Amino acid sequence: MSPEPSSILLSPIEYLKGVGPLRADLLKKELNLFSFGDLLEHFPIRHLDRTKVFPIAQLNPSLDFVQVKGRLVHFELIGERRSKRLQAQLKDATGTIELTWFQGIQWVQKRLLVGDDYLVFGKLSFFMGKPQLVHPEIESLDQGHVAPKTGLEPVYPSTEKLKAKGLNGRALAKLTAVLIPQIHERDLPEFLPQSLVTALRLPSRFKAYRNIHFPATIQDYESALYRLKFEELFLAQMRMAMIKSNRHRFSKGVVFDQVGDLFNTFYKEHLPFELTGAQKRVIKEIRTDTAKGHQMNRLLQGDVGSGKTMVALLTMLLAADNGYQSCLMAPTEILAQQHFNSLSRMLEKMEVSIGLLTGSTKKAEREKLLSELANGTMQMIVGTHALIEEVVQFKNLGLAIVDEQHRFGVAQRAELKLKSAIPPHILVMTATPIPRTMAMTAYGDLDYSVMDELPPGRKPITTVHRYETARPSVMDFVRKEIAQGRQAYFIYPLIEESVKMDFEHLMKGYEEVKAFFPEPQYYISMVHGKQKAEMKETNMLRFKNHDTQIMVATTVIEVGVDVPNASVMVIESAERFGLSQLHQLRGRVGRGSAQSFCILLTGRNLTRDALERLKIMCATNDGFLIAEKDLEIRGPGDIEGTRQSGVLQFRLASIVQDKAILDVAAQQCQKLMEQDPELSSAENLQLKSYLLSRKGKTEWSRIA
């Protein structure tokens, strides 16, 4: 929230009655509360319900703070000195509850009278099966004292330091109680279109802010919360939609308006297989998108093995036909090498130049490549991060493809954009499907293609979970597969913090596997992060060429590696992997027409989350479903690539728990963008100026 300069919301927090300089310092340090507005946005974590008075007999351990009403029937000082406590019994028609004080005993003693009626409020606990309230708030109902408190009392998040200084979650409520009456409608003007407010029956912003703190009823609180969550999710999506719409209308992009000889010749003569329907559809989407004169910025989601590489190749041919260079970036050397190999093989009989540039490209070769890129004789280049280094200059880069997107940051994609006067089209390909709900929030500024179809003839991978103790039978199974001419992977976990230990595990695993397969005709490859690129390459290649039957590897093998003859994967310590990672790994098998198997090996001690992950893996091969589950289990903060960007972190809303609100926000956003893409109608002007006044630099300059 950034209010008008004159607004009371900008007043420094120390000016609020009850704060002052000392507390202000603490509030700033501990909770980042600098102004009245910040305090207004410090939302309660819950409310204590003081509308309700519980019959004592109904109290149970699931309740937290409770209010009871009854007569004081007994009153007694127990213990000596330090262990002294005051104990009272309060009785209503249904039962008796114990009230206990360890401190301020004299003060309480003076005020309580046996035989009087009281309203008592406090945190419920049970001692030896009996309900009790320690240090409750207590008010007399007899002597015409203060009127009993009713309503919903907010409790705020606080910190240990603040609590030590008397500012606990409930004390903060005293401050908001001072603040709220000073805030007026004009401080929180409405910016949502009136028709939307009406259609969704949202309370006004002003009302929502007031009621989220001090609601009269639970319903008031809930509609305030709904409104504020909706607002967050809607604004986030509107920002993305505006970026997209601006790009569609105003960006300049190179024009790929002809499908020429290269594309056609390849398509007619060298295509190694019939394209899947999904591949055809996506190619068409890309062709339409790149012909318009605006910059394409597209996210291609395709499950593992859906054939994204072919889409990349055809798009690169399209670029070449229109006289432009293109590049394909991969996250690792192995992958870059593999892409280069398979693309050059497919392009063997074509008149087109393609090169490979990685960190380990030799100096002479490198210089040759750089000059060919600069003078335009090199039409296509495959590589790693090395491609976006400053020394790499293109003559006319028209297309940049990024494979396995989440390993590249936004900043790196921005670098790519700078490689050319007119920004190149960008195609981001990812095999870790992002749940739909998340995609439209985090990547709503990108156009979106999905490949939800696998090439024909694939059999779903059979996945099972086995305990360590079953290792001998697992090994027997692998042996049978190998005897039938298949190949197998053994995958070991890799956690950065303990590289050394992981390495030892891997070596031990290698010895173990070797012991199980002593036959002289069986060979084992090993690939891990500590090897030099060349070594990795050689070992990969030996496996790919079927010179070895078994691949023992860490997760470096994870992405994109393509050996269709491999039909078994054994994942060791499978409980240590996340869902998406397991899915990625598993995608290394099931690439040929043979039935494939994935065996998840674990110890006996499993957490509930780990068991849940294993269960999901055994139940489905659908990457999109797995991504949804992953989101549910881990939350958006842990999904790769979204952590740093923070795009999915909201103050109130959660894209997992508030999926229903997110969907409504998405519908409304879409409707609005269809009706008034420039937000120029009178009703939408306030929304537009709100969005413009708050556009974050990063958000609006984001390219992907």
Interface residue list for Mg ion (CB under 5 A): 560
Q: Does 277 bind ligand ADP (CB under 6 A)?
A: no
CB of 471 to ligand ADP, least distance (A): 30
CB of 303 to ligand ADP, least distance (A): 7
Which residue in 35, 67, 176, 276 binds ligand ADP (CB under 6 A)? 276
CB of 336 to ligand ADP, least distance (A): 13
Size of the site for ligand ADP (CB under 6 A): 19
Q: Is 128 exposed, middle or buried (0-12, 13-18, 19+ CB in 10 A)?
A: exposed
Please give the Cα distance from 77 to 110 (Å, whole number).
Answer: 13
Q: Does 384 bind ligand ADP (CB under 6 A)?
A: no
Q: 3-state class of 170 per DSSP?
A: coil
Q: Does 623 bind ligand ADP (CB under 6 A)?
A: no
Q: Does 310 bind ligand ADP (CB under 6 A)?
A: yes
Strand ranges for 493-622 from DSSP E: 524-527, 550-553, 566-571, 597-602
Q: What is the DSSP letter of 686?
A: H
Other C-beta atoms closer than 10 Å to the C-beta of 219 total 10
CB of 703 to ligand ADP, least distance (A): 23
The b/e string for 58-92 (b: 16+ C-beta within 10 A; e otherwise) is: ebeeeeebbbbbbbbeebeeeeeeeeeebebbbeb
Please give the Cα distance from 210 to 223 (Å, whole number).
Answer: 11
Picked from Mg ion, ligand ADP, none, the partner binding residue 398 (CB below 5 to 8 A depending on kind) is none
Other C-beta atoms closer than 10 Å to the C-beta of 24 total 17
Phi, psi of 83 (to 5 degrees): -95, 15
Nearer to ligand ADP, 205 or 583 (CB): 583
Please give the Cα distance from 131 to 600 (Å, whole number).
Answer: 48
Picked from ligand ADP, Mg ion, none, the partner binding residue 291 (CB below 5 to 8 A depending on kind) is none
One character per residue 418-447, x = contact with ligand ADP (rule: CB under 6 A): -------------x----------------
Q: Does 591 bind ligand ADP (CB under 6 A)?
A: yes
662, 437 in Cβ contact below 8 A? yes
One character per residue 230-269, x = contact with ligand ADP (rule: CB under 6 A): ----------------------------------------
Nearer to Mg ion, 253 or 590 (CB): 590
Q: Does 301 bind ligand ADP (CB under 6 A)?
A: no
294: left (phi over 0), alpha (psi -120 to 50) or beta: beta
Q: Does 560 bind ligand ADP (CB under 6 A)?
A: yes
Taking alpha carbons only, the member of 219, 307, 209 closest to residue 9 is 209
Taking alpha carbons only, the member of 355, 493, 332, 338 closest to residue 404 is 332
Q: Among 76-84, 211-219, 300-308, 636-644, which window interacts with ligand ADP (CB under 6 A)?
A: 300-308
Torsion angle, alpha carbons of 211, 213, 218, 220, to 10 = 10
Picked from Mg ion, ligand ADP, none, the partner binding residue 614 (CB below 5 to 8 A depending on kind) is none
Which residue lies nearest Mg ion, judged by its C-beta?
Answer: 560
Nearer to ligand ADP, 127 or 273 (CB): 273
Picked from Mg ion, ligand ADP, none, the partner binding residue 227 (CB below 5 to 8 A depending on kind) is none
Q: Does 331 bind ligand ADP (CB under 6 A)?
A: no
Q: Does 449 bind ligand ADP (CB under 6 A)?
A: no
Token output for 383:
């590589």
Nearer to Mg ion, 193 or 560 (CB): 560
Picked from ligand ADP, Mg ion, none, the partner binding residue 127 (CB below 5 to 8 A depending on kind) is none
Token output for 168:
């606990």
Taking alpha carbons only, the member of 80, 77, 76, 57 closest to residue 68 is 57
Which residue lies nearest ligand ADP, judged by its C-beta?
Answer: 307
Which residue in 307, 383, 435, 590 binds ligand ADP (CB under 6 A)? 307
Taking alpha carbons only, the member of 382, 386, 387, 384 closest to residue 420 is 387
CB of 631 to Mg ion, least distance (A): 22
Which residue in 19, 68, 240, 304 binds ligand ADP (CB under 6 A)? 304
Q: Among 272-280, 290-298, 316-324, 376-384, which window interacts with ligand ADP (CB under 6 A)?
A: 272-280
Amino acid at 571: I
CB of 590 to ligand ADP, least distance (A): 10
Nearer to ligand ADP, 44 or 560 (CB): 560
DSSP letter string, 611-639: HHHHHHHHH---HHHHHHHHHHHH-GGGS
**Interface residues toward ligand ADP, by CB under 6 A:** 273-276, 279, 302, 304-310, 431, 455, 560, 562, 564, 591
